[in-house]
Structure 1
Amino acid sequence: MFWKTAEQARAYDQWAAQPQGMFALQQERRLLQNMLAPWPRRKQKLLDIGCGTGFFLDFFWEGGFDVTGIDI
Protein backbone atom coordinates (compact mmCIF):
# COMPACT_ATOMS: atom_id res chain seq x y z
CA MET A 1 0.00 0.00 0.00
CA PHE A 2 1.11 3.52 -0.67
CA TRP A 3 0.62 5.95 2.17
CA LYS A 4 1.27 9.65 1.79
CA THR A 5 1.96 10.26 5.45
CA ALA A 6 3.43 8.40 8.40
CA GLU A 7 0.08 8.88 10.13
CA GLN A 8 -1.69 6.93 7.38
CA ALA A 9 0.90 4.16 7.63
CA ARG A 10 0.41 3.95 11.41
CA ALA A 11 -3.36 3.81 10.98
CA TYR A 12 -2.98 0.91 8.54
CA ASP A 13 -0.64 -0.92 10.92
CA GLN A 14 -3.16 -0.49 13.74
CA TRP A 15 -5.98 -1.75 11.52
CA ALA A 16 -3.92 -4.76 10.40
CA ALA A 17 -3.34 -5.70 14.05
CA GLN A 18 -7.10 -5.74 14.76
CA PRO A 19 -9.20 -8.90 14.21
CA GLN A 20 -10.86 -7.34 11.14
CA GLY A 21 -7.52 -6.48 9.58
CA MET A 22 -6.04 -9.90 10.30
CA PHE A 23 -9.11 -11.53 8.78
CA ALA A 24 -8.86 -9.38 5.64
CA LEU A 25 -5.17 -10.19 5.22
CA GLN A 26 -5.86 -13.91 5.68
CA GLN A 27 -8.52 -13.71 2.97
CA GLU A 28 -6.07 -11.96 0.64
CA ARG A 29 -3.51 -14.71 1.27
CA ARG A 30 -6.13 -17.39 0.54
CA LEU A 31 -7.15 -15.68 -2.69
CA LEU A 32 -3.52 -15.42 -3.81
CA GLN A 33 -2.91 -19.05 -2.90
CA ASN A 34 -5.85 -20.14 -5.07
CA MET A 35 -4.75 -17.93 -7.96
CA LEU A 36 -1.15 -19.15 -7.84
CA ALA A 37 -1.90 -22.85 -7.31
CA PRO A 38 -1.63 -23.85 -10.99
CA TRP A 39 1.60 -21.90 -11.64
CA PRO A 40 5.00 -23.56 -11.52
CA ARG A 41 6.90 -21.71 -8.81
CA ARG A 42 10.24 -23.35 -8.18
CA LYS A 43 13.06 -21.12 -9.40
CA GLN A 44 10.59 -18.45 -10.54
CA LYS A 45 11.33 -14.85 -9.61
CA LEU A 46 8.78 -12.50 -8.14
CA LEU A 47 9.22 -8.76 -7.58
CA ASP A 48 6.88 -7.08 -5.10
CA ILE A 49 7.00 -3.33 -5.65
CA GLY A 50 5.53 -1.54 -2.65
CA CYS A 51 5.95 -4.54 -0.37
CA GLY A 52 5.57 -2.60 2.87
CA THR A 53 6.51 -4.85 5.77
CA GLY A 54 6.94 -7.87 3.51
CA PHE A 55 3.77 -9.66 4.61
CA PHE A 56 3.16 -11.11 1.16
CA LEU A 57 6.86 -11.68 0.44
CA ASP A 58 6.87 -14.33 3.16
CA PHE A 59 3.83 -15.94 1.58
CA PHE A 60 5.41 -16.07 -1.88
CA TRP A 61 8.73 -17.29 -0.52
CA GLU A 62 7.00 -20.09 1.38
CA GLY A 63 5.26 -20.95 -1.91
CA GLY A 64 8.57 -21.49 -3.67
CA PHE A 65 9.22 -18.18 -5.40
CA ASP A 66 12.59 -16.42 -5.38
CA VAL A 67 11.29 -13.11 -4.00
CA THR A 68 12.56 -9.56 -3.97
CA GLY A 69 10.69 -6.66 -2.42
CA ILE A 70 11.18 -2.92 -2.60
CA ASP A 71 9.46 -0.12 -0.77
CA ILE A 72 10.31 3.47 0.09
Structure 2
Amino acid sequence: MANEQFDFPGRIAEIEIDESAAVCVDQVGDEITIVIASVVGVYFEVTADQAIELSRALALAAANAKKYSASTEA
Protein backbone atom coordinates (compact mmCIF):
# COMPACT_ATOMS: atom_id res chain seq x y z
CA MET A 1 0.00 0.00 0.00
CA ALA A 2 2.23 2.87 1.19
CA ASN A 3 5.34 1.39 -0.45
CA GLU A 4 3.76 0.92 -3.87
CA GLN A 5 4.63 3.21 -6.75
CA PHE A 6 1.75 5.20 -8.17
CA ASP A 7 1.57 7.17 -11.41
CA PHE A 8 0.10 10.14 -9.58
CA PRO A 9 2.77 12.23 -7.81
CA GLY A 10 2.12 12.40 -4.08
CA ARG A 11 -0.09 9.28 -3.93
CA ILE A 12 0.44 7.64 -0.54
CA ALA A 13 -2.22 4.94 -0.69
CA GLU A 14 -5.02 3.67 -2.89
CA ILE A 15 -7.33 1.33 -1.01
CA GLU A 16 -9.91 -0.51 -3.10
CA ILE A 17 -13.20 -0.90 -1.25
CA ASP A 18 -14.87 -2.94 -3.98
CA GLU A 19 -14.85 -3.03 -7.78
CA SER A 20 -16.49 0.38 -8.03
CA ALA A 21 -15.04 2.35 -5.10
CA ALA A 22 -11.70 3.26 -3.60
CA VAL A 23 -10.19 5.63 -1.06
CA CYS A 24 -6.99 7.43 -2.06
CA VAL A 25 -4.64 9.46 0.10
CA ASP A 26 -2.40 12.03 -1.58
CA GLN A 27 0.20 14.24 0.06
CA VAL A 28 2.26 17.02 -1.48
CA GLY A 29 4.10 19.33 0.89
CA ASP A 30 1.77 20.14 3.76
CA GLU A 31 -1.38 19.40 1.75
CA ILE A 32 -3.13 16.09 2.42
CA THR A 33 -6.07 15.08 0.25
CA ILE A 34 -8.41 12.19 0.89
CA VAL A 35 -10.39 11.08 -2.15
CA ILE A 36 -13.43 8.83 -1.99
CA ALA A 37 -13.73 7.66 -5.57
CA SER A 38 -16.83 5.94 -6.84
CA VAL A 39 -19.33 6.87 -9.53
CA VAL A 40 -18.67 10.41 -8.32
CA GLY A 41 -15.52 11.49 -6.51
CA VAL A 42 -15.47 13.39 -3.24
CA TYR A 43 -12.29 15.25 -2.28
CA PHE A 44 -11.39 16.38 1.24
CA GLU A 45 -8.34 18.45 2.03
CA VAL A 46 -7.33 17.95 5.65
CA THR A 47 -4.64 19.34 7.91
CA ALA A 48 -1.90 17.17 9.36
CA ASP A 49 -3.67 17.22 12.75
CA GLN A 50 -6.95 16.16 11.16
CA ALA A 51 -5.18 13.33 9.31
CA ILE A 52 -3.69 12.10 12.59
CA GLU A 53 -7.10 12.27 14.27
CA LEU A 54 -8.67 10.37 11.36
CA SER A 55 -5.99 7.67 11.44
CA ARG A 56 -6.44 7.25 15.20
CA ALA A 57 -10.21 6.96 14.81
CA LEU A 58 -9.83 4.34 12.07
CA ALA A 59 -7.27 2.40 14.13
CA LEU A 60 -9.57 2.41 17.17
CA ALA A 61 -12.57 1.31 15.10
CA ALA A 62 -10.50 -1.48 13.54
CA ALA A 63 -9.28 -2.69 16.94
CA ASN A 64 -12.83 -2.66 18.32
CA ALA A 65 -14.12 -4.56 15.28
CA LYS A 66 -11.42 -7.21 15.68
CA LYS A 67 -12.27 -7.61 19.39
CA TYR A 68 -15.95 -7.95 18.51
CA SER A 69 -15.21 -10.55 15.84
CA ALA A 70 -13.03 -12.52 18.25
CA SER A 71 -15.70 -12.46 20.96
CA THR A 72 -18.45 -13.68 18.63
CA GLU A 73 -16.27 -16.52 17.34
CA ALA A 74 -15.50 -17.83 20.84
Q: TM-score range by the shorter chain?
A: 0.3 to 0.5
TM-score normalised according to structure 1 size: 0.38
Q: Which has the higher contact order (CA 8 A, sep 6+)?
A: 1
Answer 1 or 2: which has greater strand percent.
2
Give 1 or 2 for the bigger CA radius of gyration. 2
TM-score normalised according to structure 2 size: 0.37
